[in-house]
């Protein structure tokens, strides 16, 4: 039993040293990510690389930049799809869009945008509500490789059936095929949907306030953070929203037990849509 406990402790220490090495060498800070999530992703890369322990991984991460880029993709949160959770987008149309229409110009921030599927989903929604030309959409992620994919707006054609179904369930007003062109095994999002989108690098863990936004989307990212980092990021969102601005989280996330619970009012419970309170 003691030998097993010693092995577990050694692995925990090696993981901590690996995350510290990544931070010191490259500036990416995963030290406050959920330990369970981090362990799963690192074990995956350990097995894929045929390494025996995390000490080998530390050496490779420091001296082999190609290996580090693979590791970075493993640690990034890149699971998404267009119009994911269609009922969420229905709520955006019903509860959020009418308020946004009262502004002459709006700013929307997709934090942790991954490969851009949710960004383009919102662009479609804004276009269908006649708001695209008076909206600026900011899409950020800390992973430059993922950002490049998002900018290109190229997705596997095999995913389009699911995306189309999601779009229809989300209350889509035209044919989903109007928004992309087919290119062999892929589809390319039409240029008109990318014109009002600015992709840029931003790290929620280490970077600061991001403008005065009317809406912030950060869906299913906070679940990978520990409680302290969740509070830090939620405070960042609060400070980045204009009074009355909307915060949209993922279906498994809420602010009930966080430090900002009194700073927001609940707009839609199931959809996890909140609104920044206007202070007197």
Reported as a single tens digit per residue, the pLDDT across 112-160 is: 998 999 999 999 999 999 999 999 999 999 888 889 999 999 999 999 9
Over residues 200-218, mean pLDDT = 92
Cα distances (angstroms) measured from residue 104 to each of 97, 131, 132, 183, 214: 13, 10, 12, 37, 12
Instruction: Give the side-chain half-sphere CA count within 13 A for 221.
Output: 27
Tell the CATH topology of 86-276. Rossmann fold (3.40.50)
| pLDDT (0 to 100) of residue 188 | 96
Q: How far apart, in whole angstroms, are the C-alpha atoms of residue 16 and residue 10?
A: 10
Is residue 260 over pLDDT 80?
Answer: yes
Q: How far apart, in whole angstroms, are the C-alpha atoms of residue 212 and residue 108?
A: 9
Asked if 193 contacts 127 with a C-beta cutoff of 8 angstroms, the reply is yes
CA Rg value for the chain: 20
Which region, left, alpha or beta, applies to residue 169 given φ > 0 means left and ψ of -120 to 50 means alpha?
alpha
Span 15-47, pLDDT tens digits: 899 999 988 988 888 888 888 878 888 898 988
Q: How far apart, in whole angstroms, are the C-alpha atoms of residue 238 and residue 222?
A: 14
Query: Is beta strand 154-156 parallel, antiparallel or unpaired with respect to 186-189?
Result: antiparallel
| pLDDT (0 to 100) of residue 243 | 95
Is residue 163 over pLDDT 90?
Answer: yes
Q: What is the mean pLDDT of the chain?
A: 91
Among the residue ranges 65-79, 80-94, 136-150, 187-201, the one predicted with the least confidence is 65-79
pTM of the complete model:
0.85
Q: What are the backbone angles phi and psi of residue 136, rounded to the nearest 5°?
A: -115, 125
Instruction: Give the number of other Cβ atoms within 10 Å of residue 109's Cβ.
Output: 25
Q: How far apart, in whole angstroms, are the C-alpha atoms of residue 58 and residue 139?
A: 31
Is residue 96 over pLDDT 70?
Answer: yes
Q: What are the backbone angles phi and psi of residue 182, rounded to the nearest 5°?
A: -80, 140
The band of 211, judged by pLDDT with boundaries at 50, 70 and 90, is confident
> Could you say which DSSP state residue 277 is in?
P
Chain-centre distance for alpha carbon 280: 32
Percent of the chain with pLDDT strictly greater than 90: 65
Asked if 128 contacts 172 with a C-beta cutoff of 8 angstroms, the reply is yes
Q: How far apart, in whole angstroms, are the C-alpha atoms of residue 265 and residue 259?
A: 14
Is residue 248 over pLDDT 70?
Answer: yes
| pLDDT (0 to 100) of residue 18 | 92
Q: How far apart, in whole angstroms, are the C-alpha atoms of residue 271 and residue 273?
A: 6
Over residues 210-239, mean pLDDT = 93
Is residue 244 over pLDDT 60?
Answer: yes
Is residue 69 over pLDDT 70?
Answer: yes
Q: Between 96 and 27, whose confidence is greater?
A: 96
| pLDDT (0 to 100) of residue 4 | 60
Among the residue ranges 64-73, 130-139, 231-240, 242-251, the one predicted with the least confidence is 64-73
């Amino acid at each position: 039993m003691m030998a097993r406990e010693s092995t577990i402790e050694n692995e925990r220490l090696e993981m901590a040293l690996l995350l510290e090495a990544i931070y010191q060498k490259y500036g990416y800070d995963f030290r406050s990510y959920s330990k369970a999530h981090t362990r799963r992703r690192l074990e995956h890369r350990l097995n894929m690389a045929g390494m025996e322990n995390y000490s080998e991984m530390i050496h490779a991460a420091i001296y082999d930049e190609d290996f580090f880029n693979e590791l970075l993709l493993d640690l990034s949160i890149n699971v998404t799809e267009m119009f994911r959770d269609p009922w969420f987008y229905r709520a955006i149309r019903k509860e959020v869009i009418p308020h946004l229409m009262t502004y002459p110009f709006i700013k929307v921030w997709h934090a942790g945008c991954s490969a851009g599927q949710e960004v383009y989903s919102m662009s479609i929604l804004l276009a269908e509500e006649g708001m695209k030309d008076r909206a600026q959409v900011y899409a950020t992620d800390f992973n430059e490789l993922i950002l490049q994919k998002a900018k290109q707006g190229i997705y596997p054609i095999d995913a389009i059936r699911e995306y189309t179904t999601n779009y229809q369930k989300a209350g889509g007003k035209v044919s989903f095929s109007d928004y992309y062109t087919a290119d062999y095994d892929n589809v390319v999002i039409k240029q008109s949907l990318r014109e009002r989108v600015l992709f840029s690098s931003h790290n929620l863990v280490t970077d600061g306030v991001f403008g005065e936004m009317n809406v912030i989307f950060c869906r299913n990212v906070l679940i990978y953070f520990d409680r302290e980092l969740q509070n830090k990021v939620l405070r960042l969102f609060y400070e980045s929203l204009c009074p009355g601005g909307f915060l949209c989280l993922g279906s498994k996330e809420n602010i009930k037990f966080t430090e900002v619970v009194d700073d927001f009012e609940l707009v839609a419970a199931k959809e996890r849509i909140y609104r920044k309170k206007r202070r007197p």
